[in-house]
Amino acid sequence: FSSVMNAQATGQWSILQLEDPLAQTLLTVALAMKLGLAPAHFWLPEVLQGSSFKTGLIIITWQKLAPMTLLLLTWNQTSMLTLMMMGSLSVAVGGLGGLNQTQLRKVIAFSSIAHLGWMATIITKSNKLALLNLTMYILISTPMMLSLIFSSTKTTQDLTTTWTTSPMLAPLT
């Protein structure tokens, strides 16, 4: 919808040259919804809880690449105030939402929301640093999810007995 508004206002379809402030804000909000940033984060914990760990791995890593790439490409065109507010809210929601969870997939979902909040906040200052942050997030999340897949843990209670079945994996989880 943001592209349509920009095309109507400027006559071109490129999202790299957004002129209309409303189109900039709509693009930012749409990408934030796809990423799972607060306040459009409600889908992420429920979807992650209802999916397998393999699907969850794709959701928290691979699915973030396209919207983050678009945010990085349009970082100087996006609404920085909107992105900063969504990032700050995501950090708070992700941190507080994961506190009382026992299901690991929901903890991971809220952790993802918080990490993406930090990334959104970092984008407003430096897109290169945000790219580094995204790379580190993916490099840390992937082995963590793979270790949970390997050990078949679903709850925090399951983590307490992981050391008996795979002692080498216990420190990683």
> Is residue 162 in a domain?
no
pLDDT at 96: 95
Q: Which residue has the higher pLDDT, 5 or 31?
A: 31
pLDDT of 75:
80
Task: Report whether 79 contacts 46 (CB < 8 A).
Answer: no
Residue 82 domain-assigned?
yes
Query: Is the entire prediction scored with pTM above 0.75?
Result: yes
Mean pLDDT of 61-75: 90
CA distances from 49 to 18, 52, 84 (A): 37, 8, 28
pLDDT at 114: 96
Number of domains in the chain: 1
Structural domain contains residue 74: yes
pLDDT classification of 169: cutoffs 50, 70, 90: low
Q: Is residue 118 part of a domain?
A: yes
Q: Who wins on pLDDT, 135 or 16?
A: 135
| Percentage, residues of the chain above pLDDT 90 | 46
Establish if 89 belongs to a structural domain.
yes
Q: Is the pLDDT of residue 95 over 90?
A: yes
Sequence-ordered list of residues with C-beta below 8 angstroms from that of 36, at least 6 positions apart, any chain: 43, 44, 109, 112, 113, 116
Residue 116 has pLDDT above 90, yes or no: yes
Can you give the residue range of the structural domain that contains 119?
2-13+20-156
Report the phi/psi class of residue 11: left, alpha or beta, with left for phi > 0 and alpha for psi in -120 to 50.
Answer: left
68 within a domain of the structure (yes/no): yes
User: Is 163 part of any domain?
Assistant: no
User: Can you give the pLDDT at residue 117?
Assistant: 95
pLDDT digits (tens, 9 = 90+) for 117-149: 999 999 999 989 999 999 999 999 999 899 888
Q: Report if residue 166 sits inside a domain.
A: no
